Amino acid sequence: MNENFDASKMIGKTVKISGGEESGIIVSFIMDASGKVEDVLIERHGALERYPADMLQIEGDEAFILSPIEKKLKNLSKNLPVVKKKRIVLEKLSKEKIVPREIFESLIKKFDGMLKEMENEAKSLIEEIDKEARLQEEYIKSLQTGRAFLEIEHAMGNISEEVYKRSIVALLRDVKNAQQKRLELLRTKERINALLEEKPEITLEEKKEEDESQIAEEESGEEKGEEDEKAVPVRLIQE
């Protein structure tokens, strides 16, 4: 979150939650003794929810509540492709003798270090996602066990119909929410893996240069082949 933002202007604004699928309204902020914003209060589904201020992302007129996992993914999605692209451009400039060898080696080492750091961060994030997904899976199993107990007691006539309906609705709602969270975590993991495997996009100009270089290499190979065919050695046999 931008520490310089005006909190008073954010009150009443719509904020997107859970990847933008849900939204709430910013009601107020909680500050510490020094006046620093610590938490944000959001009204959603008729109730107030409290989130750490670090989870609040502001982009222009839009506001988002991002989990630590979503925030890390957002930073990786923004920075990883850029560094990969810069590395490719640097190699191209080095081949064209535009960047001196000494400068190239210094910068390429820096870019490789940044890429390694981000790749390690991505792998660490995947481990964090796997752990959270397992927790959701265990929670789903515990809810299913709770439902089994409820169904048995209801079938035996120990629970009234009204109590049963209220309880089953609460259980099914939480099962659905946990399944949705687990699915979102697995989708996030897929996005991280795709990000690690993704190759930087090639511009039209770079594509044209690459095609022209390939054509030149092919033509050079054909010319060499023709010369080899013309220069056929002849062996003379004396009678």
CA distances from 209 to 88, 98, 200, 203, 220 (A): 14, 16, 16, 10, 16
- Give the CATH number, domain containing residue 50: 2.30.30.240
Q: Does residue 230 carry a pLDDT above 70?
A: no
**Residue of higher predicted confidence among 6 and 80:** 80
User: Tokens 């630590």, residue?
Assistant: 68
User: What is the arithmetic mean of pLDDT over 26-37?
Assistant: 90
- Per the structure, the complete domain to which residue 34 belongs is given by 12-66
Q: Which amino acid is at 216?
A: A
SS (HEC) of 101-164: HHHHHHHHHHHHHHHHHHHHHHHHHHHHHHHHHHHHHHHHHHHHHHHHHHHHHHHCCCCCHHHH
Q: Which amino acid is at 144?
A: Q
The answer to whether residues 175 and 76 belong to one domain is yes
Q: Which amino acid is at 213?
A: S
The answer to whether residues 190 and 175 belong to one domain is yes
pLDDT tens sequence across 137-195: 999 999 999 999 999 999 999 999 999 999 999 999 999 999 999 998 999 999 999 99
User: What is the arithmetic mean of pLDDT over 2-14?
Assistant: 78
pLDDT of residue 10: 87
Residue 43: CA atoms inside 13 Å, Cβ hemisphere, count?
9
Neighbours of 119 (CB within 10 A): 14
The answer to whether residues 50 and 98 belong to one domain is no
CA distances from 9 to 6, 32, 160, 173 (A): 6, 19, 50, 35
The answer to whether residues 80 and 148 belong to one domain is yes
203 within a domain of the structure (yes/no)? no
The answer to whether residues 88 and 126 belong to one domain is yes
3 within a domain of the structure (yes/no)? no
Interstrand relation of 14-17 and 22-31 (parallel, antiparallel or unpaired):
antiparallel
The answer to whether residues 78 and 167 belong to one domain is yes
Alpha-carbon gap, residue 112 to 58, rounded angstroms: 31
pLDDT of residue 212: 57
pLDDT of residue 6: 79
The answer to whether residues 151 and 168 belong to one domain is yes
**Residue of higher predicted confidence among 9 and 101:** 101
Summary mean pLDDT of the chain: 85
Closest CA to 178 of 226, 205, 141: 141
pLDDT of residue 239: 46
Q: Does residue 113 carry a pLDDT above 70?
A: yes
What lies within 8 Å, CB to CB, of 67 at 6+ separation is 55
Q: Does residue 3 carry a pLDDT above 90?
A: no
The answer to whether residues 85 and 180 belong to one domain is yes
